[in-house]
Amino acid sequence: MAGWQKNEKSLKTLNLCYFTYTLYLVFFNKVLLYLRRTIGMRLHRWYINWEAMT
């Protein structure tokens, strides 16, 4: 019985870890996408300006 309770507790911990990991992945992907888009737009604009200057 004690072993089963211990197992249940570790299962809850595992679920929490998995949930946190999934949340982190989703959040990280969103931030990465946002950064890539923003930086891409900035670079594109800068490149157009640079082309116009030369």
Q: What is the pLDDT of residues 4-18, one digit of tens each?
A: 677 888 889 999 999
- Supply the range of the domain harboring residue 29: 24-54
**Domain assignment present for 7:** no
Number of domains in the chain: 1
Q: 25: which 2 tokens? A: 């992945």
Alpha helices in the chain, H assignment, sequence order: 2-53
**Domain assignment present for 8:** no
What is the identity of the amino acid at 36? R
Residue showing tokens 């996408």: 33
**Domain assignment present for 11:** no
**Domain assignment present for 51:** yes
Mean pLDDT, the chain, as a whole number?
88
| Distance of alpha carbon 49 from alpha carbon 40, whole angstroms | 14
pTM, two decimals, is 0.51
- For the chain, the distance separating the N- and C-terminal CA atoms, rounded to the nearest angstrom, is 78
